[in-house]
Amino acid sequence: MDILAQAKKLEAQGEDIIHMEVGEPDFTTPQPIIDAGIAALKSGQTHYTPALGLPELRDAISDWYQRRYHVNISSERVVITPGASGALLLVMGALLERDQKVLLADPGYPCNRNFARFVEGKAQSIAVDESTNYQLTSSLINKHWDTDT
């Protein structure tokens, strides 16, 4: 949060800042989405959805993968989460063993290392920068991969 405060101060002074912090949108919700939400509430859609997501949405995602990538993914294998954090936590819980390492880009989403800790894994930060488009590369992964990863 200290870095965010410093970035906002510099931005207020006219500096050009690229925000790469926690994913809070910098735009308002589009009106059609607001209208759809209001209509859903007015029509009585006020109860919990199925834990894995709406079947119609899961079917649509399965169909999209078939059309886009020509792969057959059963809708039974599609899980809807209310955001990336929930999905990342589920994936880490499913894949990480106790004390196993997960390689994470740094800078990156700060909660990722907490997700690893939550499931008793270990987060290993790997520095990325403009030269890697702020993403892990195969060479960085190979360099840091070991038997505990």
The reply to whether 136 falls in a domain is yes
The reply to whether 123 falls in a domain is yes
- State how far the alpha carbon of 3 is from the alpha carbons of 6, 8, 143, in Å: 5, 9, 29
The reply to whether 109 falls in a domain is yes
The reply to whether 140 falls in a domain is yes
The reply to whether 68 falls in a domain is no
Per-residue burial over 87-113, b = 16 or more CB atoms within 10 Å of its CB, e = otherwise: ebbeebeeebeeebbbbbbbebbeebb
List per-block mean pLDDT (blocks of 10 residues) for the chain, which spans 149 residues: 83 86 77 97 95 96 98 97 92 95 92 94 96 96 95
- Residue 40 pLDDT: 96
Residues of the domain holding 107: 101-149
- Residue 126 pLDDT: 97
How many independent structural domains does the chain possess?
1
Q: Residue 91 corresponds to which amino acid?
A: V
The reply to whether 37 falls in a domain is no
- Residue 22 pLDDT: 65
- Residue 1 pLDDT: 62
Question: Where does residue 126 fall: left (phi above 0), alpha (psi -120 to 50 degrees), or beta otherwise?
Answer: beta
